[in-house]
Structure 1
Amino acid sequence: MLTSDVEAIVQSALPDAQIDVSGEECSFTLAIISDTFEGQNLMQRQKGILTLFEQQLKSGQLHALTIKAYTPAQFAELQDTYLVQLEC
């Protein structure tokens, strides 16, 4: 798989999402920022994304997928936290 393949799969299900994919071949890290995650816990978010890749995981085309899923507010808070730490 290519990073563009991973991004396209997520984009088709979450057209409003900001997506960042890193990795290669069959192991990727996927960061997703979307309002869709509002009200969902971490497990619900990850399960929803993994469902999108069910076929690729079963076939072995994809072996590992690390998912980092945030709402825009959570991501902004995360950014603020790191900025504060860098200033010290």
Structure 2
Amino acid sequence: MSMTRDEIMARVAAAYSRAQVSIDGADCNFSIAIVADEFSGLRPVQRQQAVLKLFTDVLATGELHAMTVSAKTPDEVANELNADNHGLTAIRG
């Protein structure tokens, strides 16, 4: 059985309640972009590790085969994209 976007969103929302998230993909291969304050002070690899840790169990079983992660802070996105949301969905806690 493969994960759904809703299942991925639920895990992310539980860990990053005020994040903005975009999820692309299907079956067991997804790309996820997360913008969250919690990433401040973390190196890019630490951010990816934090997100992938949410999916350790399903990566181990093959329910989720691959996930590409882009994890940024709101300030980084504002600087890069001039505060345009580019399809991200806000999670309100």
Q: Sort the TM-score into its range (normalised by shorter chain).
A: 0.7 to 0.9
Normalized per residue, the structure richer in helix is: 1
When normalised by structure 1's length, the TM-score is 0.88
CA distance in 1, matches of 2:38, 2:65: 26
| Shift in Å, 1:38 | 0.4
Unaligned runs of 5+ in 1: 81-88
Aligned-residue CA RMSD in angstroms?
Answer: 0.7
- Residue matched to 1:10: 12
**Aligned sequence identity (%):** 38
Equivalent position of 2:85 in the other structure:
none
State the 4+ residue runs in structure 1 displaced beyond 6 angstroms: none
Cα offset, 1:78, TM superposition: 1.6
TM-score by length of 2: 0.83
Unaligned runs of 5+ in 2: 83-93
Larger radius of gyration: 1
Secondary structure of 1:66's counterpart equals: strand
Number of aligned residue pairs: give it: 80
